[in-house]
Amino acid sequence: MANENENNLEFKPRSVGTADYIPQFPDGVAIPACPGEEYKFLKLYSDLVSAMNDFNKIDVRRIENLLIEICHMFRLSKAVTRVFKNPEDEQKGISETLSCFDTGENGEEIHSLRFVTSVMTISTITVYMAPDKKRLTEDEFNKVDLVMRTVVSFISRNRMKELVYELAFFDDYGYPNLRNWNNNLTELVMENKAGGKLAFRYNLRHFELINQEFGRQVGDVIMKSHFSQLQSLVGEDGMVARLGGDNFLGLCPGDKTRAVVDYLTEAVVKTPKGGGVNIHTSAGFFRIPSERPATVGEIMGSIISAFRVAQTGGMDNIIFYDDSFVENKDKTMKIQQHFSEALERDEFRPYYQPKVNVITGKLVGAEALCRWFMPNRIVPPAEFIPVLEQTSEICRLDLHMLECVCKDMRRWADEGRELIRISINFSRKHILNTYLPETIAEIVDRYSIPHELIDIEFTESTSEVEFSDLKRMATKLRDMGFYLSIDDFGIGYSSLNLIKDIPWTTLKIDKNFLPEETEDKNSVSNIMFKHVVSMTRQLGLECIAEGVETIEHVSILNYNGCEIAQGYFFDKPLSVKEFEQRLASGKYEIPQ
């Protein structure tokens, strides 16, 4: 390695001047005790070499002082070193510059050295002398050259060390990486200083939509800015690191929890062009216990479990790990184990929740919502759908539900009832299945149900990839004549592209988006609701409000022109028998 570096020196190397070479006086050769300049130089030089090789602590001030003395001794006006991170930076003149000596006199360059390390960092050193000073003798020039080689090799060596540190502990974008985070955490755990702190893992939600909207470069700046704000929020006793993509890890002192949770729930980050963008995250937290030791493995495992729940847990995007996780793990295992048998035993069946026209009171449709009829109780979907979504079992369940609905509709038709459109929820997990439209059509056709009486509900898409797959699938389903609803609109990151580019027939406004009954007509949520309804109508889509619970809600719908309601005010999800009674009457009374 020494030789390799020597070859990079533009000036023919003498016996010193490589990155790995530490100039030293050979053993047994005493520094001559001659008085005068020769002795002074040898003393300064040997002090410089030992200061640069002090493995305990490099004393920069001392090195600078020695260099100042040496420069004085050789009548130099200035000595400048530069470090370039790579050849491109050198070409552009971007460097860290250290002026180790400068008398302020104008000087001309008398000697310069350039040094390239094996990792392509470049260091240069140049010395200058004022024109009125006595020129250097050959011996003096050799001594200056020797000092310069020593300095430049010292700087290269140090820069290399920093570079190795940067490569090991930071990623290509300059974010601290997992190794960095692990090291810090391990150190805290070993020193018993981790107790009471919070470890967390988070993911920026729908960040690809921000990239889509602002472009990748601006997206990078926004991500960095979000990171830096959080970094200052957790302070010196905490840390944040990037796992890759839009996934991060963090550590914060207990007293910063509230601020960090608020920030991760919603943060406004300035964009480079002005204006702000809201960033939401899904995050899993674990409070590191103070009363007992916790291992790094346990901390990591806990935040990952909490994070998984945060990602699939619907509305709650910030989850704290607690003992119920162990219980939940058992429940999850049980559901996964019993699902197939339960499906065969026909334990999953639909309840139907009516959709009602708020002006006429007419029953215009219904949503099929799955219930698990266990031998001893009826289980709501919140208990098993997230579990089935972890694997792809949810897809089997959705197709089973479609089949149950078609079976019921066939029977109703055969009994001479008038059919209304029924919607069925389809998990996003289906989106990668290119044959889904054909599979749906095959089931529906088997029961001879007209396609326009079947409505497929999808929730918002999450990623760019999913978006294009969703578009392809939606177009095919529409071409086949099925209805297509966007479910839970208004929660999460509802991109306008999602509405514009996908041929939906219906938009279902989530219950959380419905204004409170007590709110003023000009409140922000009322205005937003009004505009979403009017936009939906202008786009020619049907608009349904979910979670309509009171007569005041019904008036809000009426006032804003949203014609269809689904919610407890009219009916909860009903058993088949109860729903058949509603089908028979086909109408609701709406109090005026």
Q: By CB under 6 A, which span of 181-189, 261-269, 478-486, 567-575 interacts with ligand C2E?
A: 567-575
Exposed (0-12), middle (13-18) or buried (19+): which is 122, by Cβ within 10 Å?
buried
Considering CB under 5 A, how many residues would be counted as binding Mg ion? 5
- Residue 195 as a binder of ligand C2E (CB under 6 A): the answer is no
- Residue 90 as a binder of ligand C2E (CB under 6 A): the answer is no
Distance separating alpha carbons of residues 346 and 238, to the nearest angstrom: 52
Binds Mg ion (CB under 5 A): choice among 90, 408, 487, 542? 487
Distance separating alpha carbons of residues 544 and 510, to the nearest angstrom: 9
Pairing of strands 363-373, 421-425: parallel
Side-chain-side CA neighbours of residue 459 (13 Å): 15
Nearer to ligand C2E, 64 or 552 (CB): 552
Distance separating alpha carbons of residues 292 and 441, to the nearest angstrom: 58
Nearer to ligand C2E, 186 or 512 (CB): 512
Residue 492 CB, shortest distance to ligand C2E, in Å, is: 12
Binding flags for ligand C2E, 407-446, as an x/- string (CB under 6 A): ------------------xxx-------------------
DSSP state of 447: T
Contact 356, 565 (CB under 8 A): yes
Nearer to ligand C2E, 222 or 486 (CB): 486
- Residue 457 as a binder of Mg ion (CB under 5 A): the answer is yes
- Residue 390 as a binder of ligand C2E (CB under 6 A): the answer is no
Amino acid (1-letter code) at residue 451: H
Residue 455 CB, shortest distance to Mg ion, in Å, is: 10
Nearer to ligand C2E, 47 or 389 (CB): 389
Residue 408 CB, shortest distance to ligand C2E, in Å, is: 14
Instruction: For residue 290, give every residue at least 6 positions away whose Cβ sits within 8 Å of its Cβ, in sequence order, or none.
Output: 195, 196
- Residue 313 as a binder of ligand C2E (CB under 6 A): the answer is no
Contact 271, 277 (CB under 8 A): yes
Rg (CA), the chain: 36
Contact 321, 285 (CB under 8 A): yes
Q: By CB under 6 A, which span of 71-79, 299-307, 397-405, 582-590 interacts with ligand C2E?
A: 397-405
Nearer to ligand C2E, 380 or 586 (CB): 380
- Residue 515 as a binder of ligand C2E (CB under 6 A): the answer is no
> What is the phi/psi pair of residue 94, to 5°?
-95, 115
**Residue 231 burial (CB count, 10 A):** 17
Binds ligand C2E (CB under 6 A): choice among 353, 485, 505, 536? 353
- Residue 380 as a binder of ligand C2E (CB under 6 A): the answer is yes
Q: How far apart are the first and last CA of the chain?
A: 90
- Residue 398 as a binder of ligand C2E (CB under 6 A): the answer is yes
Residues that bind ligand C2E (CB under 6 A): 353, 369-370, 380-382, 385, 394, 397-398, 401, 425-427, 457, 487-488, 511, 546-549, 566-568, 573
